[in-house]
Amino acid sequence: MTSARLCKALLVFGCLLISNFAVSQDANLLKRAQQGDPAAQSELGFIYATGEGVTQDYAEALRWILLAAEQGNADAQYNYGNMFANGFGVTQNFAEALLWYRKAAEQKHMLAQFNLGFMYDNAQSVQQDYAEAARWYRAAAEQGYAAAQNNLGYMFKYGLGVRQNYAEALRWLQLAATQAYPSAEFNLGAMYSNGTGVERDFVIAEKWYLLAAQRGHAAAQLSLADMLSSGVAGAQNKEQAARWYLAAAQQGDTEAQYKLGELYELGSGVPQNHELAFMWTHISAALANDTLRSRIVRNRDTIARHLSPEQLQHAQDLAQRCLDTGYVSCN
């Protein structure tokens, strides 16, 4: 069962530019920025970066954000780091992003603290240092940032940069989960499914997986499908398992694609359909890592023996169309 995996929140620099909405409503914003007001400069830079009501202009964005950042405005320092992390108007430069994130993080800027922790966690332009990662995750987590709470819980679960402590892992994951953070919900499901730091309880595990799956978490959808398929938490439900395998498969999860192909091959939870069985197994084989590919290819080739040459060509065309449409047209 895939529930043994835990998920850390990923850093998506492009989604993290922030704005002070109240300032953006100020009719005198440009005048205030020209007079040296760092909050106005930061907001004006944000407006040029995002193209809110103006022609998007990264050069102007960088100019105004830097003016504010150099005056110590933490939002501007954070956004200036994001510009370098994304390569917006500049050559992508994670070292420069790290420098500005640190400036903002030292002013207790929650998102900068998280990004700084992530960079130490993943050796992004800096030597990997789990202790530093945990320190910055904790700083953001203590301010209530769900992604940081989730990642800190992960660190405690595995003893990365901190002493391994399942109780602390659960505490931080639960805090993130109360904010409806899907990775934390998935991670709690995994801990209950495996009896990690808690008494093993498949019913509770299924509850957490369902919450995360409903929010679109692919690994949770796969784990939930596995539980429904096996009936480990109650009665088997192959139809619901197929539904969740499909949801994960359409997000590119190769294991879900393979298992959905198996259901179509057997007619379990779905009408038997060897063309769709081949399609999903063929897609899975194309995307799987080297360890899994040989097993998947063997099964795909077994399915192919049930198909005429015309059916096989149609199944191959279906697989290509499915991939070309980003999993929108897959039947």
Cα 28 to Cα 330: distance, rounded to the nearest angstrom? 53
What per-residue confidence (pLDDT) applies to 291?
Answer: 85
First to last CA, the chain: 27
237 Cβ contact partners less than 8 Å away, ≥ 6 residues apart: 228, 229, 231, 269
pLDDT at 9 over 70: no
Cα 17 to Cα 295: distance, rounded to the nearest angstrom? 44
What per-residue confidence (pLDDT) applies to 203?
Answer: 97
What per-residue confidence (pLDDT) applies to 258?
Answer: 97
Cα 288 to Cα 280: distance, rounded to the nearest angstrom? 12
State pLDDT tens for residues 169-206: 999 999 999 999 999 999 999 999 999 999 999 999 99
Which of the pair, 50 or 24, is modelled with greater confidence? 50
Question: Per-residue confidence at 134, pLDDT binned at 50, 70, 90?
Answer: very high
Cα 310 to Cα 277: distance, rounded to the nearest angstrom? 15
Q: Do residues 315 and 278 lie in contact, with contact meaning Cβ atoms separated by under 8 Å?
A: yes
Span 325-330, mean pLDDT? 94
Cα 300 to Cα 285: distance, rounded to the nearest angstrom? 8
Cα 101 to Cα 105: distance, rounded to the nearest angstrom? 6
Q: What is the mean pLDDT of the chain?
A: 92
What per-residue confidence (pLDDT) applies to 25?
Answer: 56
State pLDDT tens for residues 211-253: 999 999 999 999 999 999 999 999 999 999 999 999 999 999 9
Q: Do residues 133 and 8 lie in contact, with contact meaning Cβ atoms separated by under 8 Å?
A: no
Span 257-282, mean pLDDT? 97
Question: Per-residue confidence at 1, pLDDT binned at 50, 70, 90?
Answer: very low
Q: Do residues 230 and 238 lie in contact, with contact meaning Cβ atoms separated by under 8 Å?
A: no
Span 293-320, mean pLDDT? 95
What per-residue confidence (pLDDT) applies to 290?
Answer: 86
Q: Do residues 166 and 172 lie in contact, with contact meaning Cβ atoms separated by under 8 Å?
A: no
Question: Per-residue confidence at 26, pLDDT binned at 50, 70, 90?
Answer: low
Q: Nearest-CA neighbor of 196 among 220, 219, 164, 221?
A: 164
What per-residue confidence (pLDDT) applies to 142?
Answer: 98
Q: Nearest-CA neighbor of 154 among 164, 144, 142, 145?
A: 164
Cα 121 to Cα 140: distance, rounded to the nearest angstrom? 14
pLDDT at 15 over 60: no
What per-residue confidence (pLDDT) applies to 17?
Answer: 58
What per-residue confidence (pLDDT) applies to 53?
Answer: 84
pLDDT at 23 over 60: no
| Percentage of the residues of the chain whose pLDDT score is greater than 70 | 92
36 Cβ contact partners less than 8 Å away, ≥ 6 residues apart: 67, 71
Out of 21-35, 95-109, 158-172, least confident range: 21-35
Cα 181 to Cα 158: distance, rounded to the nearest angstrom? 20
Kindly tell me the burial class for residue 183, based on how many C-beta atoms sit within 10 Å of its own C-beta (0-12, 13-18, 19 or more): buried
The pair of structure tokens assigned to 63 is 């100019």
Span 28-46, mean pLDDT? 94
Q: Which residues of 30-64 are buried (b: 16+ CB within 10 A; e: fewer)?
A: eebbeeebbbbbbbbbbbbbeeeeeeebbebbbeb
The pair of structure tokens assigned to 251 is 């997000």
What per-residue confidence (pLDDT) applies to 19?
Answer: 58
pLDDT at 45 over 70: yes
What per-residue confidence (pLDDT) applies to 2?
Answer: 37
pLDDT at 62 over 90: yes
